Amino acid sequence: MQQLSVVILAAGKGKRMVSDLPKVLHPLGGRPLLAHVLGTASGLEAAARLVVYGHGGEAVKTAFPSESGVLWVEQAEQLGTGHAVAQALPLLADAGVALVLYGDVPLIRAETLRPLVVAAQRGSLAVLTVELADPAGYGRMVRDERGQVCRIVEEKEATAEERRLREVNTGILAVATAKLRGWVAELDNQNAQGEYYLTDTVALAVRDGVPVEAFAVADAEEVQGVNDRRQLAQLERAYQRRQAERLMREGATLLDPSRLDVRGTVATGKDVLIDANVVFEGTVRLGDRVRIESFCVLRNAVIGDDTVVLSHSRIEEAEIGPGAQIGPFARLRPGTRLAAGVHIGNFVETKKANIGPGSKVNHLTYIGDAEIGAKVNVGAGTITCNYDGVNKHKTIIGDGAFIGSNTSLVAPVRVGKGATVGAGSAVSRNVPDGSLCLTRAPRKEVANWHRPVKQNNKD
């Protein structure tokens, strides 16, 4: 089988985006547009992936430091799609097949493209088309009396009759590299745009007796390009619909599929329930029977079976054990590890905290740089004073300890197993196992005391 090379055209400036950011770097689903196309190319098991870049080229290359094997080709002047492909051709082997994609067409799927590659491998020029109710702005597919594609006409060169055609060119094509090389060398720019059109290769293929096979895509959104922010927003919702449908197929219940945002990857167990306006970022794994209430944000998190995340909670770079309850209005920051059955309540913040099985941190509390054992109760308003202005210090709380409300634990400090810290204490020394620690100041009362009264000042 002939090797496949994928050429991705990504040199456009994207003036209509009105942005300093190169168009192909604008995010869709939390990733740059170009990242989606590169992922599709990887799904085709391409032997080579080439990106033709132009405007903002260095920024485009820098945005993909982990994309190994990508060849970057500069198009210093943007003289049309044919010219862009010409920049990549010297890096392609004649023995292979070339597939041309676009960095601003992010929703194209590998399964849609495979038939084009197969057709090219058997000697055809394969083109991808779509039928639109309103084809304005697109090149039209012109067919002969037998229904065979004979050429593509750009709208500016089309006759009135040709403009009425609704089958349009997506720009995506596949063909033997050797044939493509010869046809691109013949292209000229004698047209209304003054550009070298890759689409002109279709007429050259017909001239040379090469079969032209047109494959129609059913979903127009799959081949929709991004030219402005309105189109970007439309494709964002289309992408999110795909994610919602996938999650439901995999067994998750979405209370409102139209109000879900997946900006990364999400894997779910059985009988997961996700309420409206939940955002997933990075890599998120949800166990069986997890329930996520509305307005939560989860980023790079692992959530154990039977855990409930109540509304307006944010979980980032954290691992949650089974049977936990989080929130509402909780914030779990990077490095948080919760064991089974832990309760984290409203307005609680944790950071680099390991909290043992069955422990509770229920109200208005900050736990940072801490190791908390099993069955610990941390009262409302407790804080670990872990930062001295230069260094972070650890707080360690043993199994079964009870921390009274409004306690300040001044790290480094250890509270022993089964120890009790009275409410309102400021603990700066270790507390032995099983002991009671009280650091309250003695109560003082002043009888008949009057608050100062502000004097009238005529000045």
Residues recognised as catalytic = 363
Tell me the C-alpha distance between 116 and 99, whole Å.
8
Beta bridge partners of 50: 7, 71
CB 127 within 8 Å of CB 202: yes
CA proximity to 125, closest of 93, 149, 105: 149
* 3-state SS record for the chain: CCCEEEEEEECCCCHHHCCCCCHHHCEECCEEHHHHHHHHHHHCCCCEEEEEECCCHHHHHHCCCCCCCEEEEECCCCCCHHHHHHHHHHHCCCCCEEEEEECCCCCCCHHHHHHHHHHHHCCCEEEEEEECCCCCCCCEEEECCCCCEEEEECHHHCCHHHHCCCEEEEEEEEEEHHHHHHHHHHCCCCCCCCCCCHHHHHHHHHHCCCCEEEEECCCHHHHCCCCCHHHHHHHHHHHHHHHHHHHHHCCCEECCCCCEEEEEEEEECCCCEECCCEEEEEEEEECCCCEECCCCEEEEEEECCCCEECCCCEEEEEEECCCCEECCCCEECCCCEECCCCEEEECCEEEEEEECCCCEEEECCEEEEEEECCCCEECCCCEEECECCCCECCEEECCCCEECCCCEEECCEEECCCCEECCCCEECCCECCCCEECCCCCCCCCCCCCCCCCCCCCC
Token pair listed for 36: 């989606």
